């Protein structure tokens, strides 16, 4: 049994094991490629200073481990903080993500994503999936659009 990062445990079959090879692919290819796709397309207004991560609340965000320094001194030289886990997912769910902390103007500052290890070997498809999920952490979703209308 492994955490699903939704507050419960899930039976981990062999495909959901985060092997060293899958971890390498996620860290060296999928995550950087997905982030770069957004860097190439979005005009980000720099915030300046450190992002201090609050103690996250809600249904999903608290299940992620945040380094203590991110709560105290903050994360320097960044405009958004994304925590990515590789916990098992149920069949049919490749990944999920959500924003967790907003600045006073409503801009997302912190998000979390869980990417099922069973899918990590397909770099092209996995990059596209994580790119989509990162959009949710940046506020592209029905909840945020309802707030802005």
Residue from 5, 63, 98, 133 carrying the catalytic annotation? 133
For residue 99, CA distances in Å to 4, 107, 112 come to: 17, 10, 6
Known active-site residue 143: no
Report the distance separating Cα 13 and Cα 109, nearest Å: 34
Give the active site residues. Answer: 133
């Amino acid at each position: 049994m492994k955490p699903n990062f939704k507050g419960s445990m899930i039976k981990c079959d062999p495909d959901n094991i985060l092997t060293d090879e899958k971890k390498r692919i996620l860290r060296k290819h999928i995550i950087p490629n997905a982030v770069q796709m957004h860097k190439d397309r979005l005009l980000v207004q720099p915030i300046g200073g450190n992002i201090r991560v609050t103690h996250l609340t809600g249904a999903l965000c608290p299940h992620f481990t945040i380094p203590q320094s991110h709560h105290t001194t903050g994360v320097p030289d960044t405009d958004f903080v994304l925590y990515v886990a590789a916990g098992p997912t149920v069949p049919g769910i490749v990944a999920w993500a959500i924003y967790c902390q907003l600045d006073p103007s409503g801009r997302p500052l912190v998000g979390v994503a869980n990417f099922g290890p069973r899918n990590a070997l397909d770099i092209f498809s996995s990059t596209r999936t994580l790119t989509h999920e990162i959009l949710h952490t940046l506020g592209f979703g029905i909840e945020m659009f309802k707030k802005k209308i």
